Amino acid sequence: MSTREFPCKASNIYDKNINFLFGSGASASYIPTLWLAENTTYETLLTHEDCKDVKDFILCSYFNKIIRKTFCIEPALENKKYTSTIASYTNFLDELVTLLEKKGSNQIRRANIFTTNYDL
């Protein structure tokens, strides 16, 4: 999305403090969220009283289905999900830099990006 397509004019925000919060869906095309089904996540399973006996299995499943595929491994460049995720972040940062460049020379050119994601 370019600054021309953004629903708010860049001129309305370029002189403001800019903060972003990336949530768990920011990389979901490459690294899945902890969501399994409606009202069920790995976290809810691990903390549920009835699942104590299978806690190791749940952790192993989480590792094999999510962490193992992405942790400390250089993904193949032909991996479309990886390429798409990187392209999305690159596009966001390019647009953010373009917006920050519109600030006057006497203004601080800074944006804050916050996340709870382990992958960023």
Residue of 6 and 8 predicted with greater confidence: 8
- Shared-domain flag, residues 67 and 86: no
- Shared-domain flag, residues 119 and 85: yes
- Shared-domain flag, residues 84 and 114: yes
Task: Enter the pTM of the model.
Answer: 0.61
**Gap between the Cα atoms of 99 and 92, Å rounded:** 11
- Shared-domain flag, residues 65 and 94: no
26-56 burial code (b ≥16 CB/10 A, e <16): bbeebbbeeebeeeeebeebeeeeeeeeeee
pLDDT in tens, 46-103: 888 888 888 888 888 888 877 777 665 666 666 788 788 888 889 999 988 888 888 7
**Gap between the Cα atoms of 43 and 78, Å rounded:** 32
- Shared-domain flag, residues 88 and 114: yes
- Shared-domain flag, residues 85 and 118: yes
The total domain count for the chain is: 2
What letter does residue 18 receive in the DSSP assignment?
A: E
Q: State the pLDDT confidence band at 19, using cuts at 50, 70 and 90.
A: confident
**Gap between the Cα atoms of 33 and 26, Å rounded:** 9
Query: Can you name the residues that pair with 113 across neighbouring β-strands?
Result: 20
Phi, psi of 29 (to 5 degrees): -70, -25
Residue with structure tokens 């647009």? Answer: 95
- Shared-domain flag, residues 88 and 113: yes
- Shared-domain flag, residues 106 and 120: yes
- Shared-domain flag, residues 55 and 37: yes
pLDDT of residue 26: 78
pLDDT of residue 105: 79
Domain extent for 11? 1-29+79-120
pLDDT of residue 47: 86
- Shared-domain flag, residues 25 and 84: yes
CA distances in angstroms from 90 to 17, 24, 78, 84, listed in the order given: 21, 18, 17, 10
- Shared-domain flag, residues 90 and 68: no
